[in-house]
Structure 1
């Protein structure tokens, strides 16, 4: 596979990929990164594209690493299980489950997992160390030629630091057995910089069954930066184990059968590892730019969860074990020419992306207290995706430019079923996705965008070769390996008021087949065609040197197409997300922060008769920072909310209930008010 990648990139003429550090000029094409204060006029291709840098993150208390996604305006990260499991993500009316239509990359390495044991596009960001994030690029909608699978709702590209001005030692202690230590430093070796970091996190949690989380993260990065060319090598290691605390029936909480922080099955939990090695390189001249990276990843997961209690197996319980091991290898390359056609500035880019997943023993087992008593199915999967894209940007007039693109995606999947030979097979598919962005302005620091584009997500390879239902032996219908999406957006970006960056976007999207969470299988399955539209208003205001404000409002409506109106609600689509925050610099080297997060308008079934209710969380922080010392006090869930972090509606059964179970809401509450103290020192 690696030989194929290198050969293809050499033929295409690609040379290496650019990464960034905190003090250099980087690109959305070319810009100085200043977080959401960054001047993107004349640079961004849509109103919903942006960048966040570390200076913005350092005042943002994070209860979990997955909340890095929430820097994307309108995005939401929640949890319905243990801290070691991937978060639930929501954006633009999508229940992304664990990443079905939102892609993420870290230093050019894709994080989403196709044909995953737990759910398609599984996205686990627990291996990211927030303090070492240099900046995050993001975009929403299917308008970007270089964004492929799982990017219909949006994408996030996380870039880590190349070096540290000083070493960092950080320790956090908090209620409910929370402890976290981070040690990071960099040193000059030859003409480059070597950055090394290690993180340990332990947490018992608020639950009746202690989480017993043990999380380990390590990172080594060597970088050479020679102004017009450079390279870096990244080695990362992650492992965690935990006890899970999945959603429980609301009726059991109301009756007192289960505590709000109780569990239907205390043996739920899991462990996961991820080890990666990647290389990035880049070069740039007066009339060209080259970016290139290659990567290899080893990943494994063991996940035990019981979403339905004792519905299917009244004696043993319905716990399922989802497990897999996989090796991922691939690379990305892009070459850009800067030229003039008849006196008009024209940029042309050619890109190639290759990825291969070798999934070993992806299995679904029925278990009791983590002991297997039945294997539903087990498969080995080979999945290869190749994408070629062209992008053209033309500055037609001083106040008008266009960005057009064409992306070709090819997918080949091969499934070897170890439990039912009839479900083995090979499928392939291809899609062409045109993109177009028209940008008008800026006039008086205001810019107008019109964006159109096609995108896609892939389906699980096992669904593409399915012929027989592995549970009951009935004939089953296979699904298309690739599913088309399409969308459009009209937006405005304004910096007319000094210090205020504001964007407004009106968007629409259609997906040919929806991926939804299925409670009794604890996985995602395809359903019908869907349509969404919404409005987003994002604001970042640097009032003065002492006060920074931000506020993001996102409203959306998500419905199935071609079904009766009374049955067209898309389950777990979040219709309203509001976040706001303030950072105030106080006298005597102190500061304080206040953040609000609100989400609601969430139907839990297709009729809308069950809803999740609204959730509002307020976090407060106070700190002291002077020279190399920083002390912080963070109070999460200041108002003591007991609302749902995530909720579902389906049939479940507790012991003693009717054999056919009870339809109703199952919920996972937000964690209660808790205090954490952090001390860090630079050395």
Structure 2
């Protein structure tokens, strides 16, 4: 009831100022005719401003009857302004169609009306990186590290803000709002495989580190990221890539509607991708991936647009797995060799996603989304070789089939609070996961079942609701306050215990607060505080009495955005995070298990510097200090949590047809166990990309690891025993990173 009274108060306050008018407008891209989200709108000389929402709309309320000069700007576009006359008790409409322009850091504006509450990876950023798949796009996020350790078809391991996130326990990943994380997954909680996204179709990636957004729920502890795919295909294209290690890739997309339909803002395209590679391991990876996608975007009524996406994805591969240091040092195998050549797997996912965006008669924006996924997964791994079974080996099989569906809704109201600009968001989320035969088994040669360890069906539902209010309190100060509620219902049917059914449920409330103070046009400070959570595996919470279903997390960021000179932007933040329950990967079981409480603190520093008109330099340095709470000194380190990371390099954009980048990635040494007696060694790797575009043709050369550094991409402290050993050994087991790896590409637009 308090929430509804709060809403009523603000809505009634916004209508209390009689005889005032408003400006309602829309900003679109001149080429694609699509809305531009995040454009900055300001009233010249009035210290009033807003940003455009997802539909490109904006609204400025409580204006006295008078002429106003409205200016719109957005990075990568030519700024525009128009003069409008506001009348009493009327909404004056205005439209802007922005033309693209060369990007310049001088255009970056710091203001209370447009606080940097989230960041963006653009399609241009992706084109100028050595990207092999959509998951690698996440490397652009400052401080985020990924690593592959079981062949190219498995979701990469993720590290961020002092977390070994494994495959997604502490980062919320979505694609066009559809969940990528899989709850209660056969391989590990929060498993997030984004390989069903075609990189060339990514229009941008929104992301934020921390747990400060009310519309983000489960797994949003270290941060979140949402892949946005293109609603409109600007040009048809076909692309072929050929690389070392028998690597091939074909990708293309084509519009399927006639020009007359496109002129009426109706768009539809089909796209496909096929990849094959043996990779650089001694045992061929035989990696295959197929992606198909179709998308429609258009207006179904005057004020409602529909975006419908259907896609399917399939992948199959072999893997060399993790190998122990001693096997390489003794000469038993090479650096790129394998102990068990029978690892690998298959996976598939089919998605349907419908998004409705409506502008109501009162100029409110209402977004509704319905989605469905059918998902299948099978993985064979061997982490410990002959530790448990000296005769048959320790190979395990993890398998599941899953149906996932859900609904998201957000209602956005731009209104006035006295003479202050404000936006109210109210939303609900629902997702339901049903798995069939979630399995963990002991196998031999992928075909023989030796022991069933776990087998059953998961039924998990999550309903959430949130509300947040953004207010520009003054020309220098803005605030966003939010509240989120989540309810989980967990059920597990155990087929190894005569189909016994186990149940559990829980709820959690998560408040959020974000403050932004803009000292001047070149300096802004911000404070973010909030509460979030990462859910526990259904099988764990129903089997272990007293285990938390929704372990809470509390965090804060204190940071600044500073432009010391027009062509340099610096973002720095000190952050702190406390978790009520840590999730730890258990290598010999191949699962995630909950541990005790933990805390993390650190700092992030990012710099962007425009050296010349088309040449940019960037560098990100990140430090984290993760610790387990309640453990004795010397036994309180968190295994594999990354402490020091840095990414950066030079980027050349559109200089006489040439573009490209020279990039580095650095990860420092980190403890592989609680007392640091086993150390996971760091690495420094450099990549390069060069493209030349002429008319509708483009040719590119990308090189990973240009200095051919020998490095370990993923590492674990694991106890194992080889077939000829009497005693087990606890040491680093690793997957090697790519050696020098060159790839040529050729694309044509038509």
What TM-score do the two structures reach when normalised by structure 1?
A: 0.92
CA contact (8 A) 1:36 1:501 kept: no
Shift of 1:360: 0.7
Q: 1:293 aligns with which of 369, 372, 396?
A: 369
What residue is the counterpart of 1:318 in the other structure? Answer: 394
Shift of 1:422: 8.9
What residue is the counterpart of 2:99 in the other structure? Answer: none
What residue is the counterpart of 1:114 in the other structure? Answer: 183
Give secondary structure in 2 for the equivalent of 1:251. Answer: helix
Q: Distance in 1 between matches of 2:616 and 2:256?
A: 34
CA contact (8 A) 1:449 1:492 kept: yes
Shift of 1:499: 3.2
Deviations 1:576-627 (A, max 9, x none): 1100121235865233420000111311000011111111110112221111
What residue is the counterpart of 2:290 in the other structure? Answer: 216
Give secondary structure in 2 for the equivalent of 1:482. Answer: coil
What residue is the counterpart of 1:414 in the other structure? Answer: 491
What residue is the counterpart of 2:601 in the other structure? Answer: 533
Give secondary structure in 2 for the equivalent of 1:458. Answer: coil
1:33-432 mapped onto 2 (5 Å cutoff): 34=76, 39=108, 41-42=110-111, 49-188=118-257, 190=261, 191=264, 192-224=266-298, 229-284=304-359, 287-371=363-447, 372-421=449-498, 424-432=501-509
What residue is the counterpart of 1:512 in the other structure? Answer: 580
Shift of 1:317: 0.6
Shift of 1:48: 7.0
Q: Distance in 2 between matches of 1:44 and 1:559?
A: 38
CA contact (8 A) 2:493 2:499 kept: no
What residue is the counterpart of 2:730 in the other structure? Answer: 663
Deviations 1:351-391 (A, max 9, x none): 10000000111010111110222111101011000011010
Q: Distance in 1 between matches of 2:128 and 2:275?
A: 20
Greater Rg by CA = 2
CA contact (8 A) 1:45 1:449 kept: no
What residue is the counterpart of 1:545 in the other structure? Answer: 613
1:637 is the counterpart of 2:705:
yes
Q: 1:562 aligns with which of 605, 630, 633?
A: 630
Q: 2:550 aligns with which of 482, 485, 488?
A: 482
What residue is the counterpart of 1:610 in the other structure? Answer: 678
Give secondary structure in 1 for the equivalent of 2:517. Answer: strand
CA contact (8 A) 2:670 2:681 kept: yes
Shift of 1:443: 1.0
CA contact (8 A) 2:710 2:739 kept: yes
CA contact (8 A) 1:95 1:574 kept: yes
CA contact (8 A) 2:202 2:228 kept: yes
What residue is the counterpart of 2:63 in the other structure? Answer: none
Aligned residues: CA RMSD: 2.2
Which stretch shifts more, 70-79 or 360-369? 70-79
Give secondary structure in 1 for the equivalent of 2:181. Answer: coil
Which stretch shifts more, 222-231 or 175-184? 222-231
Q: Distance in 2 between matches of 1:45 and 1:614?
A: 38
Q: Distance in 2 between matches of 1:290 and 1:43?
A: 25
- Tell me, which stretches of 5 or more residues in structure 2 are unaligned? 1-26, 40-50, 54-73, 77-102
Deviations 1:304-325 (A, max 9, x none): 0001111001111101000000
CA contact (8 A) 1:46 1:451 kept: no
CA contact (8 A) 2:28 2:34 kept: no
- Larger RCO (CA within 8 A; separation ≥ 6): 1
CA contact (8 A) 1:45 1:439 kept: no
CA contact (8 A) 1:19 1:280 kept: no
Shift of 1:478: 5.4
Give secondary structure in 1 for the equivalent of 2:333. Answer: coil
1:455 is the counterpart of 2:523:
no
What residue is the counterpart of 1:12 in the other structure? Answer: none
Report the count of equivalent residues: 656
Give secondary structure in 2 for the equivalent of 1:125. Answer: coil
Which stretch shifts more, 107-116 or 633-642? 633-642
Q: Distance in 1 between matches of 2:328 and 2:225?
A: 37
Deviations 1:143-177 (A, max 9, x none): 11011101110000111001222111100001101
CA contact (8 A) 1:248 1:666 kept: yes
What residue is the counterpart of 2:37 in the other structure? Answer: 26
Q: Distance in 2 between matches of 1:531 and 1:69?
A: 24
Q: Distance in 2 between matches of 1:318 and 1:533?
A: 38
Shift of 1:495: 3.5
Shift of 1:545: 2.7
CA contact (8 A) 2:383 2:718 kept: no
Shift of 1:121: 0.1
Give secondary structure in 2 for the equivalent of 1:269. Answer: strand
Change (3 A) 1:360 1:370: same
1:678 is the counterpart of 2:745:
yes
1:613-632 mapped onto 2 (5 Å cutoff): 613-632=681-700
Deviations 1:292-349 (A, max 9, x none): 2110000000000001111001111101000000000001111011111222222111
Give secondary structure in 2 for the equivalent of 1:397. Answer: coil
Q: Distance in 2 between matches of 1:351 and 1:541?
A: 38
CA contact (8 A) 1:377 1:420 kept: no
Which stretch shifts more, 287-296 or 265-274? 287-296
- Tell me, which stretches of 5 or more residues in structure 1 are unaligned? 1-17, 468-476
What TM-score do the two structures reach when normalised by structure 2?
A: 0.84
CA contact (8 A) 2:113 2:478 kept: no
Q: Distance in 2 between matches of 1:602 and 1:634?
A: 30
Change (3 A) 1:666 1:44: farther
Give secondary structure in 2 for the equivalent of 1:209. Answer: coil
Q: Distance in 2 between matches of 1:120 and 1:673?
A: 34
Which stretch shifts more, 549-558 or 38-47? 38-47
Q: Distance in 2 between matches of 1:419 and 1:169?
A: 50
Q: Distance in 1 between matches of 2:500 and 2:379?
A: 23
